[in-house]
């Protein structure tokens, strides 16, 4: 069976010319499809993974652990055999594994001493099904960072360029959050925040009295707490706080391509979607200096075919899009399409993801909160904001939440018999844990390229990834731990544990860079419109475009950049400039 096709026009017309081809249906591709379709373009969305149907295919949604054969655990041998990389993702369980790739089928290579965890979801919706929904605006502290300290090239945009697009995507996606007035973490178009529990509120109070620049706020998360008419019309509803989102949500309460952008694109009648279709390269016509379409291999039959379109949007995720460009060679671009600068593949970044510290918050034993909440809390960046830190450049934030311990405390403390059972029936003490998310510098030595000798089962050269935490990152990792411990002590916490291992790059799951935006075609791949300097009708709007990494979760910024680029591209198409 050739790749499943549906939408409008009909399957038989799929060989027609499209106004735009969008590669990848995750967070970025969903937005590209929606924005282009809504502006009247006939769009072909090409997705390498299987079709996932909203609701129907959320096969573990709502199940209790006891309803799965191993209560959520995956047989250990299966994990080692098929998920050697994905297993390190915190969200990888028997409830979610069908939304992660099988590592055996999707190889890549790293030097032995420099692991990089490439966490992926190949399916309609990509990782928008799996993500943790944390959404934070970047500010000019971030967009000016490269210019200020000289690492990487300058961003070709500033906050004012992207702010209206943050408004636009937040309004549609639905972001819950609180207004804080912090310059380094601009407020947005928020739906009502989830409440912080009484201990989190108390911790914030004490933090604010100990520090002028630190606070604990509720996380900003892509959850509907007060759905708009537009969201209701798309079949989305209010969040029930199950916090089992990675299994899929039939309420459509969290933002995903399946709940939000793809239905919006489909209702225009302008979208055609093909799944099980792996894009191997972008076709290029040297005479007109234009991309003409994409080559595709059917994931199942392995037959090849191609699609043509007037413009191409690459949204196959950071490394997916770069792999496609590197694999699109021609006489004019022997080292990868749109790579006249030679920078394609360089400056891979992720977030330093480090469980920093955890401890007990004494008291409040007569208080309890609901069992689950769909967002944790956030400590916005405070280093290198007002004062310069001598130890490292840039900054970090923390994510974490306070809750009372449950039965798992029994595995960490002595006790057996009725005494233990009776004690574990009651909630334990309040605890708080903080995980740091730190900025990585853009460094040309952290890079990816194709290994022409090793190919995957579809004949595509596999990606080589060489990326590591370097001096600045190592100094920051120390501060992430030390600051967390200090803050916990300051708010009166006890039994503070730290010394947890930092994660290998990749496990922040915020991989960024490798086809960066910049002002100068000599040192960057994309311009301020996410348009390839070299090929005017080629756009890359996923994480590959990022010029620096900030410390905030990046997907909201991918959304805004994608929507902005789509609007710009349509304008150029109408003007006839592409």
Helix 159-173 to helix 555-575 angle (10° resolution) is 100
In the shown chain, the binding pattern of residues 345 to 374 toward ligand FAD, with x for contact by CB under 6 A and - for none, equals ------------------------------
Which residue of 36, 52, 91, 218 would you call a contact of ligand FAD, by CB under 6 A? Answer: 91
24 binds, among another protein, ligand FAD, none (CB under 5 to 8 A by kind): ligand FAD
Decide if residue 315 touches ligand FAD (CB under 6 A): yes
- Phi and psi at residue 245, to the nearest 5°: -55, -35
Decide if residue 370 touches another protein (CB under 8 A): yes
Piece of 154-162, 362-370, 506-514, 531-539 that binds another protein (CB under 8 A): 362-370
Residue 206 CB, shortest distance to ligand FAD, in Å, is 26
250 binds, among ligand FAD, another protein, none (CB under 5 to 8 A by kind): none
Q: How far, in Å, CA of 557 to CA of 27, rounded?
A: 10
Residue 314 CB, shortest distance to ligand FAD, in Å, is 9
CB 32 within 8 A of CB 566: yes
For the chain, state the CA radius of gyration.
Answer: 23
Decide if residue 453 touches another protein (CB under 8 A): no
The candidate with the shortest Cα–Cα distance to 346, out of 451, 504, 466, is 466
CB nearer another protein, residue 75 or residue 150: 75
Closest residue to bound ligand FAD by CB: 26
Decide if residue 362 touches another protein (CB under 8 A): no
CB 61 within 8 A of CB 100: no
Give, as ranges, the residues between 422 and 441 that touch another protein (CB under 8 A): 422, 424-428
Helix 198-210 to helix 471-490 angle (10° resolution) is 110
CB nearer another protein, residue 102 or residue 241: 241
In the shown chain, the binding pattern of residues 39 to 78 toward another protein, with x for contact by CB under 8 A and - for none, equals -----------------------x-xxx--xxxxxxxxx-
CB nearer another protein, residue 162 or residue 424: 424
Helix 555-575 to helix 27-38 angle (10° resolution) is 30
554 binds, among another protein, ligand FAD, none (CB under 5 to 8 A by kind): ligand FAD
Give, as ranges, the residues between 254 and 293 that touch ligand FAD (CB under 6 A): 278-279
**Which residues are CB-contacts of 374 (< 8 A; sequence separation ≥ 6)?**
133, 194, 221, 223, 239, 241, 242, 243, 245, 253, 254
Cα separations in angstroms, 3 against 291, 304, 366, 456, 460: 23, 11, 57, 19, 18
Paired tokens of 257: 């391509």
CB 318 within 8 A of CB 544: yes
Would you list the DSSP string of 491-529? TT-EEEEE-PPPPPTTTTS--B-SS-B-S-TTT-SB-TT
In the shown chain, the binding pattern of residues 16 to 55 toward ligand FAD, with x for contact by CB under 6 A and - for none, equals -------xxxxxxx----------------xxxx------
Piece of 60-68, 114-122, 345-353, 532-540 that binds ligand FAD (CB under 6 A): 114-122
62 binds, among ligand FAD, another protein, none (CB under 5 to 8 A by kind): another protein
* Strand duo 494-498 + 352-361: pairing: antiparallel
Where helices occur in 95-239 by DSSP H, the ranges are 140-143, 145-149, 159-173, 198-210, 229-233
Q: How far, in Å, CA of 16 to CA of 23, rounded?
A: 17
Residue 370 CB, shortest distance to another protein, in Å, is 5
In the shown chain, the binding pattern of residues 465 to 504 toward ligand FAD, with x for contact by CB under 6 A and - for none, equals ----------------------------------------
Q: How far, in Å, CA of 306 to CA of 283, rounded?
A: 9
Which residue of 141, 319, 348, 369 would you call a contact of another protein, by CB under 8 A? Answer: 369
Piece of 137-145, 367-375, 451-459, 524-532 that binds another protein (CB under 8 A): 367-375
The candidate with the shortest Cα–Cα distance to 452, out of 464, 436, 444, is 464
The candidate with the shortest Cα–Cα distance to 49, out of 222, 247, 273, is 273
For another protein (CB under 8 A), the number of binding residues is 57
415 binds, among another protein, ligand FAD, none (CB under 5 to 8 A by kind): another protein
Decide if residue 500 touches another protein (CB under 8 A): no
Give, as ranges, the residues between 177 and 206 that touch another protein (CB under 8 A): 194-198
Which residue of 132, 290, 381, 564 would you call a contact of ligand FAD, by CB under 6 A? Answer: 132
Bridge partners for 377 per DSSP: 218, 400
Residue 417 CB, shortest distance to ligand FAD, in Å, is 39
CB 519 within 8 A of CB 528: yes
Binding residues for another protein, rule: CB under 8 A, are 62, 64-66, 69-77, 80, 90-93, 194-198, 240-244, 366-373, 404-408, 410-411, 413-418, 420-422, 424-428
Binding residues for ligand FAD, rule: CB under 6 A, are 23-29, 46-49, 89, 91, 119, 121-123, 126-128, 130-134, 278-279, 315-317, 320, 324, 509-510, 542-543, 553-555, 558
């Amino acid at each position: 069976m050739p790749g499943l096709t549906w939408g409008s026009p009909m399957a038989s017309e799929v060989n027609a010319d499209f106004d735009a081809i969008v590669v990848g249906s995750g967070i970025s591709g969903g937005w590209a499809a929606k924005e282009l379709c809504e502006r009247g373009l006939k769009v072909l969305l090409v997705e390498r993974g299987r079709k996932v149907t909203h609701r129907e295919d959320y096969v573990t949604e709502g199940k209790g652990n006891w309803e799965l054969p191993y209560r959520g655990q995956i047989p250990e041998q299966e994990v080692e055999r098929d998920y050697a990389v994905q297993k390190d993702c915190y969200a990888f369980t028997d409830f979610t594994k069908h939304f992660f790739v099988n590592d055996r089928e999707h190889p890549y290579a790293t030097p032995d001493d420099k692991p990089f965890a490439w966490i992926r979801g190949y399916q309609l919706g990509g990782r928008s099904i799996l993500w943790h929904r944390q959404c934070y605006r970047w500010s000019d502290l971030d967009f000016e960072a490269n210019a200020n300290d000289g690492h990487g090239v300058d961003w070709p945009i500033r906050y004012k360029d992207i702010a209206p697009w943050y408004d636009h995507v937040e309004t549609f996606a639905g972001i819950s959050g609180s207004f804080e007035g912090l310059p380094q973490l601009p407020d947005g178009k928020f739906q009502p925040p989830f409440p912080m529990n009484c201990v989190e509120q108390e911790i914030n109070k004490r933090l604010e009295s100990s520090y002028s620049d630190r606070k604990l706020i509720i996380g900003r998360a892509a959850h509907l707490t007060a759905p708009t008419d537009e969201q209701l019309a798309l079949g989305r509803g209010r969040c029930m706080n199950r916090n089992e989102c990675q299994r899929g949500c039939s309420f459509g309460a969290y933002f995903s391509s399946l709940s939000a952008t793809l239905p919006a694109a489909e209702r225009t009648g302008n979208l055609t979607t093909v799944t099980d279709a792996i894009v191997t390269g972008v076709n290029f016509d040297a005479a007109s200096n234009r991309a003409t379409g994409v080559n595709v291999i059917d994931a199942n039959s392995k037959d090849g075919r191609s699609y043509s379109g007037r413009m191409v949007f690459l949204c196959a995720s950071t490394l997916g899009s770069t792999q496609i460009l590197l694999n699109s060679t021609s006489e004019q671009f022997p080292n990868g399409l749109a790579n006249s600068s030679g920078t394609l593949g360089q400056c891979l970044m992720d977030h330093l993801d480090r469980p920093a510290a955890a401890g007990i918050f004494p008291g409040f034993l007569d208080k309890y909160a609901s069992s689950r909440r769909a967002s944790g809390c956030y400590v916005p960046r405070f280093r290198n904001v007002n004062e310069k830190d001598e130890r490292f450049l840039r900054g970090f934030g923390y994510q974490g939440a306070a809750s009372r311990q449950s039965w798992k405390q029994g595995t960490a403390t002595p006790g057996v018999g009725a005494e233990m059972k009776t004690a574990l029936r009651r909630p334990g003490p309040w605890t708080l844990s903080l995980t740091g998310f730190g900025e990585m510098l853009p460094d040309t030595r952290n890079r990816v390229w194709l290994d022409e000798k090793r190919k995957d089962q579809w004949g595509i050269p596999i990606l080589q990834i060489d990326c590591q935490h370097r001096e600045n990152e190592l100094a920051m990792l120390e501060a992430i731990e030390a600051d967390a411990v200090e803050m916990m002590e300051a708010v009166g916490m006890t039994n503070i544990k730290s010394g947890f291992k930092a994660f290998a790059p990749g496990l922040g799951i915020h991989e960024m860079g490798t086809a960066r935006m910049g002002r100068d075609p000599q040192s960057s791949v994309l311009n301020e419109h996410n348009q390839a300097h070299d090929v005017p009708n080629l756009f890359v709007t996923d994480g590959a475009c990022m010029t620096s990494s900030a410390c905030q979760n990046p997907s909201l910024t991918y959304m805004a950049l994608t929507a902005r680029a789509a609007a710009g591209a349509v304008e150029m198409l109408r003007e006839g400039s592409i």
